[in-house]
Amino acid sequence: MNILEYQNDVLTILNNSFAKNHLSHAYIFEGEKGSGLKEVAIFLAQKLLCLDNHSACGVCENCKRVSNGTHTNVILIEPIQNNIRKDQINSLIKEGHMTSLTDKSRIFIINGAEKMNRAAANSLLKFLEEPTPNNYLILLTENSNMLLETITSRAQLIRFKPINKEQLANTLHDEGIEKDVSYILSELFGSYEAAKESLKEGTIINSYDMFKKIINAMISKKDIYIEYYLNKKLLNSLNAHVWFLEILTLFKREQIRYIEKRTCRHFKELLDNLEFDSTIVNQITEQIEKINHAIEEINLKINSDLIYAGLFQSL
Ligand SMILES: [Zn+2]
């Protein structure tokens, strides 16, 4: 399942507008993580610049340069430390006012547009108020309500179809990936491409191995901190830690379903073997909160041995 195929409705809107020469000068693409916002923005940039009759062929010189990020007519702004600052927007505006050497379109993409601070957003308004022909602005956001109303009123909003995680998990499982791993990938990465990419990179599997070691240690009533300590080389990056903790959260959520005798579809074998008191739903909810807190601490680069020493006591 290709994400562009999945968002076919959005592509149809853009293709029709292009064909009628009615493309808007500013778009807001709104959708959840992994729903293909950036992929569609790249598609639109390719379409505008493609040398093969604007087909977004993907193979011509321009299409290739757009997709590998080296086309000078496509400017992508990403948040820096979770923030888009005024100077980033100002450099975009400066670029926008420069006369293009050719009459080719220029595409400005702002990823995580809701992360613009107020000063940045106000600067962007100027850009929106004085549109230059052949300049296109695409704002990518998980939530357009977090953008200034003065911005949203000047751009066309396109909502992306949410990713159907169950469908994604099934697709991955059909390809021979273990059922629980398919589920984890669908929950953590949300898109087929991102899931496959993470498998190739490998860290997620180390996180999953650590998770299984911890639960199996619980099942055989071993000391889980020691189990962690002996295997801690599996968690050799920030992502590895965060994913390990996120898998643990998924497991805890499933444990609640298991206790409440709702359909339990994941981690069944582990849950069948784990002994626990079935009156502890509140306790598990607290554990999930503690795991979330541990994720925050990991992101703050607090010593991971310390974090786990505390967390494992409450599991
Ligand atoms: Zn092309």
**65 Cα–ligand 1 center, Å:** 10
Rounded CA gap, 190 and 287, in Å?
24
Q: What is the pLDDT of residue 1?
A: 60
**47 Cα–ligand 1 center, Å:** 7
**Predicted confidence band at 184 (pLDDT cuts at 50, 70, 90)?**
very high
**66 Cα–ligand 1 center, Å:** 9
Which residue, chain included where needed, has tokens 């953590």?
188
**193 Cα–ligand 1 center, Å:** 21
**130 Cα–ligand 1 center, Å:** 29
**158 Cα–ligand 1 center, Å:** 24
**71 Cα–ligand 1 center, Å:** 12
Rounded CA gap, 136 and 47, in Å?
12
pTM over 0.75: no
**Strands 74-77 and 156-159, sheet pairing:** unpaired
Rounded CA gap, 11 and 68, in Å?
21
Mention every residue, 6+ apart, whose C-beta is less than 8 A from residue 296: none
Q: Which of 178, 230, 171 is nearest to 204 (CA)?
A: 178
Q: Which of 171, 204, 201 is nearest to 3 (CA)?
A: 171
pLDDT at 68 over 60: yes
**1 Cα–ligand 1 center, Å:** 22
Give the burial string for 35-65 (b: 16+ CB within 10 Å, else e): bbbbbbbbbbbbbbbbeeeeebeeebebbeb
**153 Cα–ligand 1 center, Å:** 32
Range from 91-95, 226-230, 277-281 that averages highest in pLDDT: 226-230
Q: What is the pLDDT of residue 172?
A: 87
**220 Cα–ligand 1 center, Å:** 58
Instruction: Count Cα neighbours of 145 within 13 Å in the Cβ-side half-sphere.
Output: 0
**70 Cα–ligand 1 center, Å:** 14
Which residue, chain included where needed, has tokens 């899931």?
195
**274 Cα–ligand 1 center, Å:** 55
**49 Cα–ligand 1 center, Å:** 7
Mention every residue, 6+ apart, whose C-beta is less than 8 A from residue 93: 123, 124, 126, 127
**61 Cα–ligand 1 center, Å:** 7
* The dihedral formed by the CA atoms of 206, 186, 297 and 216, expressed in degrees to the nearest 10: -50
**Predicted confidence band at 102 (pLDDT cuts at 50, 70, 90)?**
low
Token pair for 34: 């992994």
**239 Cα–ligand 1 center, Å:** 35
**57 Cα–ligand 1 center, Å:** 4
Rounded CA gap, 238 and 294, in Å?
12
**104 Cα–ligand 1 center, Å:** 14
**3-class secondary-structure state, position 228:** helix
**59 Cα–ligand 1 center, Å:** 5
**37 Cα–ligand 1 center, Å:** 20
For residues 167-194, average pLDDT: 88
pLDDT at 101 over 80: no
pLDDT at 92 over 70: yes
The residues whose Cβ lies within 5 A of ligand 1, an ion, are 50, 52, 57, 60, 63
User: For the ranges 35-49, 166-180, 202-216, which has the lowest average pLDDT?
Assistant: 166-180
pLDDT at 100 over 60: no
Q: What is the pLDDT of residue 246?
A: 97
Q: What is the pLDDT of residue 46?
A: 97
Which string of DSSP letters, residue by residue, matches 78-144?
--BTTBB-HHHHHHHHHHHHSPPSSS--EEEEETTGGGB-HHHHHHHHHHHHSPPTTEEEEEEES-G
pLDDT at 25 over 80: yes
**127 Cα–ligand 1 center, Å:** 28
Rounded CA gap, 101 and 111, in Å?
26
Token pair for 245: 């903790």
Spans of all domains in the chain:
3-159, 202-313
Rounded CA gap, 58 and 144, in Å?
29
Mention every residue, 6+ apart, whose C-beta is less than 8 A from residue 173: 179, 182
| Entry field: residues in the chain | 315
Q: 3-159: which CATH topology?
A: Rossmann fold (3.40.50)
More confident: 97 or 54: 54
Range from 91-95, 125-129, 203-207 that averages highest in pLDDT: 203-207
Bridge partners (DSSP) of residue 107 are 74, 136
**41 Cα–ligand 1 center, Å:** 15
For residues 38-47, average pLDDT: 96
State the average pLDDT for the chain.
Answer: 92
